[in-house]
Amino acid sequence: MTQAEETAISILAWLANEPELIGRFLALTGTDPSSLRNAAADPGFLAGVVDFLMGHEPTLLAFCEATGTKPEAVVRAHMVLSGPDNPGDF
């Protein structure tokens, strides 16, 4: 597993303990709680997890504070998982 994938899994685990955020994430992705484990094996899904977090700076900072993750690590994970063909904000 790459560092980017590990970061995305950490984000997903953190989201799972944030009822309001996980509910919003599931609604936006159309994923249900029972299929999260299988979805987490998909690099595209993991890119979406990181993208979700990066879409709201206060949530990004809350994740980083709660987990001791540097925001730069999340940005790197986003760049790796989204790939060079993703027209992002970078």
Given the structure tokens 């979805």, which residue do they identify?
A: 39
Given the structure tokens 């690099």, which residue do they identify?
A: 43
pTM beyond cutoff 0.85: yes
Is residue 89 predicted with pLDDT exceeding 50? no
pLDDT of residue 83: 81
Is residue 52 predicted with pLDDT exceeding 90? yes
Look at residues 22, 31, 62, 64 and name the one whose alpha carbon lies nearest to residue 77. 64
pLDDT tens-digit map of 7-40: 999 999 999 999 999 999 999 999 988 898 899 9
pLDDT of residue 88: 45
What ranges do the domains of the chain cover? 3-29+38-82
